[in-house]
Amino acid sequence: MGKFVNNIEEFFTFCNENDVQFVDLRFSDIKGAWHHLSYRYSAVNAENLENGFPFDGSSVEAWQPINKSDMILKADVPTAFLDPFTADPTVILICDVYDIYKNELYERCPRSIAKKALKHAEDIGIADAAYFGPENEFFIFDDVKFVDNINEMGFKVDTEEGEWNSNTSYDDMYNTGHRPGTKGGYFPVAPTDSMVDMRAEMMQVLEQVGLEVILGHHEVAQGQGEIGIVFGDIITAGDNVQKYKYVVKMIAHLNGKTATFMPKPLYGDNGNGMHVHQSLWKDGKNLFYKEGNYGNLSEMALHYTGGIFKHAAAVAAFTNPTTNSYKRLLPGFEAPSILTYSSQNRSAACRIPYGAGEKATRIEMRFPDSSACPYLAFAVMMMAGLDGIKHKDVPTGPMDIDLFELSLDEIREKGIVQMPHTLREALEALIADNEFLKPVFTADFIDAYQHYRFERCVFPDEGRPTAYEFKTTYQC
């Protein structure tokens, strides 16, 4: 799989061969949400593909003020692919956002920030390529309801796999009794795994849109799945996450179900992570490989890991950017929050995958989750890693014990740093520790980002009572 077109000329040939009627322009906001606007194919020409398409940037959250709303979408033509879901043939183009007032890539465009991060690595002479392999987990539910009013708050999700349905009477079918149970979803065959055909459909459509699919499987939680795709460079990997989420949500929708990448939708069961494999390369050589070292990791790879750990609290503001993210980062749910590295050990925040040779040696950061904007998450980790290389930071480890078995006292005694416990902590850390981002992330962006997350996530969440608070506090 891969590119369908390489240049503007091939784009028009591709469109004509597929009787394209619409050109859909996609871009990502600072949350990582995909936005789009559709042009008639007849209105698209080589000039606007080259110079860009105007749009209103003031209507996107945390972007432009209304008095400077005009912006440009610059299509990355080789990203073109056919939308597999539209009634009329539609080609999708992934775009970067251009700032007409500063005549440069927009400082709040996540995809543009990721491009600047890679250029920074080149400019300082460390690497000319950065590869990322995200593993995005998701839930498929049959129904979701939530309410958020001044006097009423709550949610309810349902899946036929939920153990709570073991005594449910169905109008149109009998109760099969085949359910994975809490934390019982890892690899059971059908009928316990109810999503075999849906995942297969997702995998095939992902290949249609240009991703190279490796495997798919049921994950640990009830109603949870994962599809493995081949890694890519920092930009392609970010694009692939956006395609992946789009396809998974749409296939679920068309099957009468609903998909979510929310980190922790179920209490007491595993959450959705986005484990991120990463490595730096130069002149075709893997800079993270050193045969004979622990896990075959080079000193540069260790320093890179040390940088991420040193800045982990600030990094978390981007890799774990929602209040719900920190409900996942708890002991007992395979969500490592202890900042150490280990070969093969999935309880460490950084795992070195087993059996990797020169081309495949990499680190796997296991704390990020799928609520993150992929471009920002990848760029922030790389900037922290580059800072670690610069300062020769050394990470805690290796630790090959089951870290999930350690008590909080033991963690403190060993001097192991943990991930922040709340989004507030992460954002406060970002405010205090952001110099390592400054070569790429502007002060304006960092300020806008932290204000947005505080005002739209932290403050509203902190001000809302929960059902559990009523359970523990109402009678006091």
Q: Which residues contact 121 (CB under 8 A, 6 or more apart)?
A: 127, 128, 130, 280, 382, 386
- The active-site residue, picked from 36, 120, 346, 456, is 346
Q: What does the DSSP 8-state code read for residue 78?
A: G
Question: Does 242 count as an annotated binding residue?
Answer: no
What is the CA angle 427-429-432, rounded to 5? Answer: 115
Contact 220, 207 (CB under 8 A): no
Q: Using the structure block, give the residue that is written with the tokens 């080149």.
A: 122
DSSP string, 153-199: EEEEEE-TT-GGGTT---SSS--------TT--SSPPTTTSTTHHHH
What is the CA angle 61-430-117, rounded to 5? Answer: 75
- The active-site residue, picked from 226, 369, 393, 428, is 226
Handedness of CA 375, 377, 381, 386 (dihedral sign): positive
Question: Does 311 count as an annotated binding residue?
Answer: no
- The active-site residue, picked from 50, 56, 148, 413, is 56
What is the C-alpha to C-alpha distance for residues 372 and 262, in angstroms, rounded to an integer? 10
In this structure, the number of other CB atoms found within 10 A of the CB of residue 236 comes to 20
Does the annotation mark 364 as catalytic? yes
- The active-site residue, picked from 111, 311, 366, 424, is 366
Backbone angles phi, psi at 250, to 5 degrees: -70, -40
Question: Does 278 count as an annotated binding residue?
Answer: yes
Structure tokens at 181: 């149970």
Question: Does 425 count as an annotated binding residue?
Answer: no
Q: Which amino acid would we find at residue 364? A: E
- The active-site residue, picked from 108, 111, 275, 351, is 275
- The active-site residue, picked from 96, 137, 193, 387, is 137
Does the annotation mark 456 as catalytic? no
Question: Does 451 count as an annotated binding residue?
Answer: no
Does the annotation mark 311 as catalytic? no
Strand partners, 28: 34
Question: Measuring CA to CA, which residue among 350, 288, 309 is closest to residue 436?
Answer: 309
Beta strand ranges found along 354-462 (DSSP E): 363-365
Return the half-sphere exposure (C-beta side, CA atoms, 13 A cut-off) of residue 45. Answer: 2
Contact 182, 173 (CB under 8 A): no
What is the C-alpha to C-alpha distance for residues 306 and 303, in angstroms, rounded to an integer? 5
Contact 287, 301 (CB under 8 A): yes
Question: Does 270 count as an annotated binding residue?
Answer: yes
In this structure, the number of other CB atoms found within 10 A of the CB of residue 329 comes to 25
Does the annotation mark 275 as catalytic? yes
Question: Does 344 count as an annotated binding residue?
Answer: no
Question: Does 366 count as an annotated binding residue?
Answer: yes
Question: Does 137 count as an annotated binding residue?
Answer: yes
Handedness of CA 117, 444, 422, 470 (dihedral sign): negative
Question: Does 47 count as an annotated binding residue?
Answer: no
Question: Measuring CA to CA, which residue among 368, 347, 460, 326 is closest to residue 411?
Answer: 347
- The active-site residue, picked from 96, 161, 364, 428, is 364
Question: Does 271 count as an annotated binding residue?
Answer: yes
Question: Measuring CA to CA, which residue among 387, 375, 380 is closest to residue 316?
Answer: 380
Question: Does 108 count as an annotated binding residue?
Answer: no
Question: Does 292 count as an annotated binding residue?
Answer: no
Does the annotation mark 291 as catalytic? no
3-state secondary structure of 445: helix
Does the annotation mark 160 as catalytic? no
Question: Does 58 count as an annotated binding residue?
Answer: no
Q: Which residues are annotated as a binding site for Mg(2+)?
A: 135, 137, 219, 226, 275, 364
Q: Which residues are annotated as a binding site?
A: 135, 137, 219, 226, 270-271, 275, 277-279, 328, 334, 346, 359, 364, 366
So which residues are the catalytic ones?
A: 56, 135, 137, 219, 226, 275, 346, 364, 366
Q: Which residues are annotated as a binding site for ATP?
A: 277-279, 346, 359
Q: Which residues are annotated as a binding site for L-glutamate?
A: 270-271, 328, 334, 346, 366
